[in-house]
Amino acid sequence: MLRMRDLSGGYGPRPVISRISLDIAEGETVALLGANTAGKTTLIRAIVGTLPSVSGVIAFEGRDIVQLPAHRRVALGIACVPEGRHVFGQMSVRDNLMMGAYHRRTEDLGSDLADCFALFPRVRERQAQAAGTLSGGEQQMVAICRALMAGPRLLVLDEPSHGLAPLMVAEVHGAIRKVNARGIGVLLVEQNVSSALKVVDRGYVLESGAIALSGTSRDLQDNDTVRRTYLGI
């Protein structure tokens, strides 16, 4: 579904990520792991189109999207839960969800809303509240629901568990499994390597802007370097 070849890019002349090749198959869940400053968020920004300078190939369902402006990628089926959530703070939760479906511009969103509420019943209760007044975990739920309202084929989540209580992390990761069960592909960026590897099929480990390691989650869990560096075993 997503094919990346020799992708380099950054915020200025100096690349932050270099020569990255990565694949996500239809309906697969893939983790992108690595320490802070490894280039995980930069890679995500290249996929969603908000990285200032990029070269290489990103093909989504066979179409090269590297030069496609960010606001036109969501209609192809790429939706993003950005790092730090970025909900529209002064808008109601319901308006936040509707903004997720902006590229479709239809008022007929009943079944999409119902799917979101089935995933996170708490979001239904908070519909009329301004999103900025919610707790961090609830805002994360809104951010995930907003992305689902776009009707994606690929859901990209950048550190969805960052700063959340352990119970909330489990709820978010549970939701990711349910989303994937609907046939939506997932790219999950996490610093929390051990719990991320329980959610995904495969993973890539990023180090100083390049892919250092990749494999199935079982392979990565058993890999000595991963165990020492990220799992602390």
Partner 1 sequence: MIAVLQALADGLMIGGVYGVIAVGLSLVFGVLGIVNFAQAEFMMLGMYVAWFAWRYLGLDPLVGAALSFVAVFCLGALVQRLLIQRIMKAPPVAQIFLTVGLLIVLENSALLLFGPEFRTVKTAYQTRALMIGPIFVSVSYLSAFVAAVIVSGGLWLVLTRTWIGRAIRATAQNPMAATLFGVDTRWIYAVAFGLGTGLSALGGGIVLSYSSVSPTSGSQYVVLMFTVVVLGGLGSVMGALVGGVIVGMIQSLSTLVMPIQLQNLALFTIFIALLAFRPQGLLGSPSR
Question: Is 95 a binder of partner 1 (CB under 8 A)?
Answer: yes
Question: Is 11 a binder of partner 1 (CB under 8 A)?
Answer: no
Toward partner 1, which CB reaches closer, 95 or 207?
95
Do 128 and 94 meet the contact criterion of CB atoms below 8 Å apart?
yes
Tell me which residue of 205, 220, 158, 153 sits closest to 180, measured CA to CA: 153
Question: Is 87 a binder of partner 1 (CB under 8 A)?
Answer: yes
CA 60 to chain CA mean position, Å:
15
Question: Is 68 a binder of partner 1 (CB under 8 A)?
Answer: no
Question: Is 162 a binder of partner 1 (CB under 8 A)?
Answer: no
Question: Is 80 a binder of partner 1 (CB under 8 A)?
Answer: yes
**Total binding residues toward partner 1, as defined by CB under 8 A:** 26
* CA–CA dist 166, 173 (Å, integer): 11
Give 197's contacts (C-beta < 8 A, 6+ positions apart): 31, 33, 203, 217, 220, 221
Do 98 and 88 meet the contact criterion of CB atoms below 8 Å apart?
no
Toward partner 1, which CB reaches closer, 66 or 91?
91
Toward partner 1, which CB reaches closer, 88 or 117?
88
8 strand-pairing partners: 55
Question: Is 150 a binder of partner 1 (CB under 8 A)?
Answer: yes
Do 21 and 7 meet the contact criterion of CB atoms below 8 Å apart?
yes
Do 3 and 28 meet the contact criterion of CB atoms below 8 Å apart?
no
Q: Residue for token digits 């270099």?
A: 18
CA 105 to chain CA mean position, Å:
23
Toward partner 1, which CB reaches closer, 15 or 151?
151
- When binding is defined by CB under 8 A, the residue of 35, 59, 91, 213 that contacts partner 1 is 91
Residues 105 to 144: which contact partner 1 by CB under 8 A? 105
Toward partner 1, which CB reaches closer, 143 or 205?
143
Question: Contact positions toward partner 1, by CB under 8 A?
Answer: 48, 50, 69-72, 74-75, 79-80, 82, 86-91, 95, 98-100, 102-103, 105, 146, 150
